[in-house]
Amino acid sequence: MPYHYFNGVPPNSQDPENTNFDKAKNVPALGPFKYYDEGTPPGYSWIKLERNPLYFGYDLGWGPYDIDYWIFEYVPDSSTSLSKLKLHELDYAGYPTAPVEVFEELIGLPDFKVQLDFYPATNSLWMNFNNPNLSNRYVRLALAYAIPYADIYKDILPSWGIVDPVPGGSFIHPWQYYQDKQLFNSEMPRYTYDLTRAQQYLDMWIYAQTGSDPTKGPIGDADFDGIVDLDDLWYWLEEYGNAPYTREIDWLDPSWYTSYPWPKDGGSVAPGNDIDPDFDNDGIVDIDDFGLWLANYGKQYPFPGAW
């Protein structure tokens, strides 16, 4: 509940879990408009909102100031919505109504205003890390290079009202901070459509080789439970490291583990898999390998100091 509404409101004496306030006035009308009425069937006709005089944004200089009611009409067909807009039966229609080029044709026409804004939306590809294949870092990198980004920009995003997409390096935008710490991962690369490189990443996954079981042993899954998590770090230390390891970890320069040659350049399969804990391939399982483990997987999980 918003503090500026409910500060000082006592609990209901009959039910301590029920706060003593007027729900009709305060919930859920926390924005500039609140529910007023709707048509039938609910959700498939229209809904009418009225100005919410308790909206805190009005005191901060936020609008709108000249709208008393806002009516949303349910129009299931986009062509009908566009026709209503052109006939001024609708006052507003967003990107689902028509692709970019249709709205661009309305620019300059009388009684129409087409507005373009910089909109920091993201379209993410969500992955289930509990999946024994997707919890593998190299599999995810292969997928990242198997996405035809240019085709998506050209053929799909314009139908979402996106004129000029801006490729991002992370799902967190550069200007977002939390407790004075920038949340943007500046080291995350911008991937390109490269099936050759995608195949090379799959080749780095030992279980993708002929005759192997592709459903077991994601890289970094030291305890083979199908999930790459903190349990693997402690298992790695106990099984291969000098546990308990008391001295401070000597963090490695990223160039040391990202500069290995690709297979097409004559290099061997990249270091780092859960069959061979000797990540740096120096013939010895030691703390240097532990550092590589953290460097490869720590940035994807909340390991202390790994950011």
Task: Count how many residues are written for the chain.
Answer: 307
> pLDDT confidence of 95, banded at 50, 70, 90?
confident
Helices (DSSP H) in 91-131: which residue ranges? 100-106
Instruction: Note the pLDDT of residue 214.
Output: 45
Residue 131, classed as helix, strand or coil, is: coil
48 has pLDDT over 50? yes
- What burial class does residue 166 get, using C-beta atoms within 10 Å of its C-beta: 0-12 exposed, 13-18 middle, 19+ buried? exposed
Dist. CA 135–CA 262, nearest whole Å: 22
181-182 and 177-178 as β-strands: parallel, antiparallel, unpaired? antiparallel
Task: Report the candidate in 282, 284, 258 with the shortest Cα–Cα distance to residue 270.
Answer: 258
Q: Give φ, ψ of 174 to 5 degrees.
A: -60, -25
45 has pLDDT over 60? yes
Using one digit for the tens of pLDDT, what is the confidence trace for 51-61?
A: 888 787 887 77
Helices (DSSP H) in the chain: which residue ranges? 3-6, 23-26, 78-86, 100-106, 137-144, 149-151, 195-203, 230-239, 254-258, 287-297
> What Å distances lie between residue 294 and 204, 229, 297, 302, CA to CA?
18, 11, 5, 11
Using one digit for the tens of pLDDT, what is the confidence trace for 102-159?
A: 888 888 888 899 888 777 666 677 776 556 566 566 777 788 889 999 998 888 888 7
Instruction: Note the pLDDT of residue 115.
Output: 84
Q: Which amino acid is at 149?
A: Y
Are 198 and 146 a contacting pair, CB within 8 Å?
Answer: yes
Angle at 186 between CA 180 and CA 190, to 5 degrees: 150
Over range 209-219, report the average pLDDT.
48
Task: Report the candidate in 63, 60, 39 with the shortest Cα–Cα distance to residue 51.
Answer: 63
Using one digit for the tens of pLDDT, what is the confidence trace for 248-284?
A: 444 444 444 444 444 444 444 444 333 345 555 565 6
